Amino acid sequence: MLKVEGLEKKFGKNTVLKGVNLEIKEGEITVIVGPSGGGKTTLLRCISGLTQPDNGSIIINNKYLYKDGKIAQKKDELEIRKDVGLVFQNFNLFPHMSVLENITEAPRVVLGMDIEEAKNKAKEILGFLGLENKQTSYPFELSGGQKQRVAIGRALAMEPKLICFDEPTSALDPSMTGEVANLIKKLSLEKSMTVLIITHDMAFATMVAHRILSMNNGILKEEHMYM
C-alpha cells in the first residue's frame, strides 16, 4: 500500500529525516510514536505530498509520488495524492463554511463532482461518523471531538486508500482517547481503510495499533510490538 525508501529531509542545517524506510500493508493500523521534534510530522507531510523530501522515494499503491527526491509527473501527482487523506493536528476546518460545505468542498473543487452528488456522499459520511444532525453547524459550534470527526469526514470524501492522523489525541480532552481509538478502528473495520498515525501518546498507541514503530532523531525503528 505504502512504501517509503531512504527518505531524507533537511531544513537548513537541521537534518530531520535521516533515511527513513517504512512499509505499510493494506488494512493495517500503523502507529509511529516518538518525542516532539523527532520528525514525525515532517514524515507525514512528505507522505501526503505537502513537503518535498530532499532524497528518497515514496510509493503509494504501486505508484511513485517521489522518486529519488523528485516529484512524480505533474499529471500523476494529483491522482496519487488523492489516495492519501490527512487529518491535521488542529483539524484545519474552514471556519466560514458549514459542516456540509467543509466536506463537499474538495470533491467539488478538486474532483469536479456535481454538487448534489457531493452532498449525498457527505450526508452518508456524516451518518457513519454520527454527525447527521450537524450538517448546517459551523466549526465554532462544535466540540473538539466533533470537529475532529468533520476533519475525518473531509478526508473520507476524497475516498483515500490511506488515511493519516497527526497527533489525533493532542487537541482533545484525555477522556476522549478511547473514543478516538474506537472511531479509528471502525474506519479500519467498516471502511477497510489503511491507517497511519503519529503520536507521542503511548497509551493511545497501544489501544489502536496493529503495529507500533518509533521515530527518534529522524530515524524510524520497528518496535516489534504487534497487538
Ligand X SMILES: Nc1ncnc2c1ncn2[C@@H]1O[C@H](COP(=O)(O)OP(=O)(O)O)[C@@H](O)[C@H]1O
CB of 37 to ligand X, least distance (A): 4
CB of 80 to ligand X, least distance (A): 22
CB of 39 to Mg ion, least distance (A): 8
Please give the Cα distance from 205 to 199 (Å, whole number). 7
The interface partner of residue 85, options being Mg ion, ligand X, none and the CB cut-off 5 to 8 Å by kind, is none
DSSP lists the bridge partners of residue 29 as 195
Half-sphere exposure (Cβ direction) of 87: Cα atoms closer than 13 Å: 30
Please give the Cα distance from 118 to 135 (Å, whole number). 13
> Rule CB under 6 A: which residues touch ligand X?
11, 14, 16, 34, 36-42
Residue 210 has what DSSP assignment?
S
Nearer to ligand X, 30 or 42 (CB): 42
Nearer to ligand X, 113 or 219 (CB): 219
CB of 219 to Mg ion, least distance (A): 16
Instruction: Kindly write down the DSSP assignment for every residue of 34-48, as one continuous string.
Output: --TTSSHHHHHHHHT
Nearer to ligand X, 42 or 169 (CB): 42
- Pairing mode, strands 162-166 and 194-199: parallel
DSSP lists the bridge partners of residue 22 as 4
Find where cell 500500500 sits. Answer: 1
Residue 73 has what DSSP assignment?
P
Site for Mg ion in 27-46 (CB under 5 A): 40-41
The interface partner of residue 153, options being ligand X, Mg ion, none and the CB cut-off 5 to 8 Å by kind, is none
Nearer to Mg ion, 43 or 103 (CB): 43
Nearer to Mg ion, 41 or 102 (CB): 41
C-beta nearest to Mg ion: residue = 41
CB of 199 to Mg ion, least distance (A): 9
The interface partner of residue 16, options being Mg ion, ligand X, none and the CB cut-off 5 to 8 Å by kind, is ligand X
Residue 198 has what DSSP assignment?
E
Among 175, 173, 165, 172, smallest CA distance to 209 is for 165
Residue ranges in contact with Mg ion by CB under 5 A: 40-41
